[in-house]
Amino acid sequence: MMGSVTTLNEFIIDRQSDFPYAKGELTRLLNHIGIAGKVVSREVNKAGLAEILGEIGSNNVHGESQKKLDVYANQKFINALQGSGEVCGIASEENEEIIAFDDDLAKNGPYIVSIDPVDGSSNIDVNVSIGTLFSIYRRVTPRGHRAGDADFLQEGTRQVAAGYILYGSSTVMVYTTGRGVNGFTLDGSIGEYCLSHSDIMAPPNGIIYSINEGHYIKFPDGVKKYIKYCQTNDPQTNRPYVSRYIGSLVADFHRNLLKGGIFIYPTTEQNPHGKLRLLYECNPLAFLIEQAGGRATDGYGNRILDIKPSKLHQREPLFIGSRNMVSLAEQMMKEYSPIK
């Protein structure tokens, strides 16, 4: 304890006995993720100086141009996780296939991690918030062997921990191990994450809706109806609501988690399965929001955490946030757009 400050390390160790497999491995793993996040945070903060802005000239697995920071952060997280000894493999937004570690220490690791090292890449070069998302599972293949796809294609309900690091006006790490949600702000002067948001609960109602309305014309009717509901004047229910959309999932999610709101990335004509990836974008946030008392579904009656992934980079539509707001959007989907 440093005075009245609780650091991430202290907090994780205090909570170690809560973990389903309390051998200290998950404790160390979360610490390693936090450390890699500090390194990325440092680079983000000096990005304009460090010649780390801009594109690298290659495309990632989704055909999107890779930014230098994407590549840098991906490598930092891979190195930190491989070196930790707790992780036998990683799935990353930046890599088409899983990365299965070959050294004996890592092959013995009990966990796998799915990660989006830098989410919201289009915001890097313009100094707008970006984030890292991570999701941790026990492996299903035996220890001592290389990780396989089956380790990653598990339902979100099987996550043992998940979280994000938001590189915003400050750097914040928020995570859950299934016993509530806690947030830690990085104090650069001491180089530590300090507990700043304990036992976060999402308000059941909110006044913020977050969706890329530029695609309105291509949205399912249920989403169009919900947007019109948000925009309708009704002072009794605090409408019209406020529209807020950063285009960085972590930042949009974090704001709505704290203030109350709904985030929707639905199916569209160009993205008939939505845009966001189940393994490393939808699942960690769905785990967090449920732990905080909120809801996450695909808008077609399926709880995100129950979806059995069939491929690594699978996309799903996402309706996530305050419980009552998501329920109402789901009702409208059921009535006006029942089929995907």
Angle at Cα 174 formed by Cα 170 and Cα 175, nearest 5°?
160
Nearer to Mg ion, 215 or 239 (CB): 215
Identify which of residues 116 and 330 has a Cβ nearer to ligand AHM in the complex.
Answer: 116
Would you call 327 helix, strand, or coil by DSSP? helix
Binding at 247: pick from Mg ion, ligand AHM, none (beta carbon under 5-8 Å per type): ligand AHM
Phi-psi category of residue 188: left, alpha or beta, with phi > 0 → left and psi -120 to 50 → alpha: alpha
Cβ 254 to Mg ion, closest distance in Å?
Answer: 15
How far apart CA 75 and CA 150 sit, in angstroms, is 23
In the complex with ligand AHM, the residue whose CB is nearer, 38 or 277, is 277
What is the contact surface with ligand AHM in residues (CB under 6 A)?
A: 64, 93, 116, 119-121, 212, 247-249, 275
CB 69 within 8 A of CB 46: no
Amino acid at 9: N
CA 304 to chain centre: 13
* By CB under 5 A, residue 119 contacts Mg ion: yes
Q: Does 290 bind Mg ion (CB under 5 A)?
A: no
What's the closest the beta carbon of residue 90 comes to ligand AHM, in angstroms? 16
Confirm if 87 and 106 have CB atoms less than 8 A apart: yes
Question: Residue 38, SS3?
Answer: helix
Select the span of 48-56, 113-121, 173-181, 328-336 touching Mg ion (CB under 5 A): 113-121
Is residue 86 part of the contact set for Mg ion (CB under 5 A)?
Answer: no
Single-letter amino acid code for the residue at 120: G
**Choices 4-12, 30-38, 112-120, 294-302 (CB under 5 A): range interacting with Mg ion:** 112-120
- Amino acid letter for position 209: Y
Shortest distance in whole angstroms from residue 265 CB to ligand AHM? 6
29 is in the binding site of which of Mg ion, ligand AHM, none (Cβ under 5 to 8 A by kind)?
Answer: none
Task: Kindly list the residues in this chain that would bind Mg ion in the complex (CB under 5 A).
Answer: 116, 119
